[in-house]
Amino acid sequence: MLQCPDSVCGSYMGKGDSLHHQVLAAFPLCHMTEEDLIQNPLFCKVLATLSQHVDRTGLTLHLKKELEKAQKELRSQRLGWLRMESLHRLLQEMVQEHRSSQHHSGTPTAGDKFYATLEQCLLVAKCMKRLDASRTVDQNRSPFLGLSAEEVLHQMPCKQDVLQMKQRLPTELQKHLKKKLFYLLSYYQPEWENESEGLRCVKLTKLPGLLAGERVRADNLAEKNRENALSLQRQTHSYLLELLECMQLLQTLVLDLRLKVQKDLDRKKIEYFEAKCEIGIQKIRAEMLAVQLDTYTRDKIAAHWKITEKLGAELQAAQLEKHSLESKLASFEIYGKEFEALAAEYCRLREEITTRSWALKEFTA
């Protein structure tokens, strides 16, 4: 942005906000704010002066006039082209309808020559249009299909047939247009179809109003459809968000349920394995019992019982002897430590006697 001296800035401070609003209104396409204009008063003055010579789009007044003139000429040419194109399509439609009716009836009519001349003229005009288009694109290019304009114009019907066709054409075109209007009127007002032609011609004056109303209704429906489409899009978006939340909640519930079900399954599996282990233990015990039965016969068991009884009797006798010895030892405990010394001396003497007896036996042997 341009910056101005303080003296220049002070000269424009008294103008107020009207100049700023005028500049902003004159240049709506510029991305400026009132604060920008306040900070750059010299640039604001330049824009205010420039707004007297250009319009809101930035065009000068001369260019704007030239543009309006060109647009007006373009609209005029476009309208002329639309008229010619509409007339050409109507003529083609007339020829096609005549062909269709002639094909279904199969009998020649008085208008065959008229429609044949019209069709031939349309074909020649189409070829001439194609030749003009190819000549406009490339001047050095060879003519379309090697034909010249004179050769194409040579295919025109005779002048008398063309003159008769031109004299009859407005009447036939009027009939065709009236028939199309009657069809259109019957479409919008089916109850008028069986009325007389004169009454329908009178009611044709209401057709523009019907078409205008239909256009307004179509525009309203289109606007309503756009609003419905936007509403549907918003609702779809909100529904999708809700659906995602529901899916997340459902996934959480499924996970919780799966954990609970998994817990029950694990408990059932544990019970199953416990029962299976118990069955295995019972089988092992049965196998051990079978092995024992195969290993220990009746005779072996009887012998074991006898051995057990003998060992039990010996154990009982040893226990009785133990008790008697313990009672004797208890009777000797009254002598105290002197008895212990005497017993130790006795044991030593017994060992010495045993040793000397063994030595004497060895020497005498």
| Count of structural domains within the chain | 3
Position 305 in a domain: yes
Q: How far apart are CA 318 and CA 9, in angstroms?
A: 136
Average pLDDT (30-48) is: 80
CB atoms within 10 A of CB 312: 10
User: Two tokens at 230?
Assistant: 């936007």
Lowest mean pLDDT among 2-16, 24-38, 63-77, 147-161: 2-16
Q: Give the confidence band of 140 by pLDDT, cuts at 50, 70, 90.
A: low
pLDDT at 1: 38
Does 92 map to a domain? no
Do 183 and 110 belong together in one domain?
A: yes
Higher pLDDT, 132 or 65: 65
Of 140, 163, 188, which marks where a domain is finished? 188
CA dihedral 83, 88, 92, 93 (to 10 degrees): 0
C-beta atoms surrounding 324 within 10 Å: 10
Task: Give a yes or no: residue 172 inside a domain.
Answer: yes
Mean of the per-residue pLDDT values for the chain?
79
The pTM for the full model equals: 0.43
Residue 142 confidence class, pLDDT cut points 50, 70, 90: low
118: in domain: yes
Residue 220 lies in a domain: no
* 285 compared with 145, residue with greater pLDDT: 285
More confident residue, 256 or 141: 256
Q: What is the DSSP letter of 60?
A: B
The parent domain of residue 19 ranges over 6-58
Query: pLDDT digits over 256-280, tens only?
Result: 888 888 888 888 899 999 999 999 9
- Structural domain includes residue 235: no
% the chain with pLDDT above 90:
13
* pLDDT > 90? residue 73: yes
257 within a domain of the structure (yes/no):
no
Is residue 94 in a domain?
Answer: no
Domain limit, last residue, from 142, 157, 188: 188
- pLDDT for position 283: 92
